[in-house]
Structure 1
């Protein structure tokens, strides 16, 4: 009789595969990474790997979804009773999310954005995830507008898109040599200016 496979075991294997994929994508890039590489790093057979994920794109999609969950969790913890609280929390967000979003993950996304220019299927996945990310931030901004922190005519979708682009741009700049401290300062100054402008 085959041993029973528990849900906990399946979850553990899935997480191991995801982490192995991140490490492989970071080291080789999405295009050059093979499913064999991921299976080997995860210490699993290729057959087991395919039971959980059918392709590298499937893995990348799950990585994106996990990052969205982290983003939602971070935003749900940002409470504000005053406008200054809101500004302070927003300024701190970059540093907090930066700590959670491992360097490997950030490197993977920078490389995959570049590769998406040559891969229409990957481009569609990235576009869909970008829209989801913007919507998560927009929902947070909408709640703050309802709380009276922003003007009622604020275009929260445009502001959310700007915040997401700012974050991604600063992360990319760090890989080009810009210091983390400089990125944090740029985030704080820009966020404060934006919130002041729509308040």
Structure 2
């Protein structure tokens, strides 16, 4: 998933659409992966390690090589986090697995890759975010992942958080939550 745009609540809404009659999702939590933690720590110090080839190839070949490195970097960023969906029963989780594994998330080119994990599995790191219910003012994210759809890829490492501009420009309301 494109974790810059997807939050736990987005997955909760998506999965709720596929629930069997009587089934329930208890929580959706997004955790950082070991791969993601390592890469994010490196990026915090040096930024993304993309370029720096001393190869003396033609400029066109160099541009193509840089574009492919950039595409691979953007695809690797999709593995920085993973989500855990806790259901009320194994029947519900089995139904969701059959219905959603391999399905594209809206029109984003992000494909759901579902796996079963044991109930007693412990996670070493705290979740990035958790969702247990859908807020009344929920708006679905509107994005697409360029690295999966376009021939020319742009780096997203230094992009602002997608909702930042919208959040900063709305009128202040002390009663309004996130």
Q: TM-score, normalised by structure 2?
A: 0.26
Q: TM-score, normalised by structure 1?
A: 0.23
Q: Name the structure where helix makes up a greater proportion of residues.
A: 1
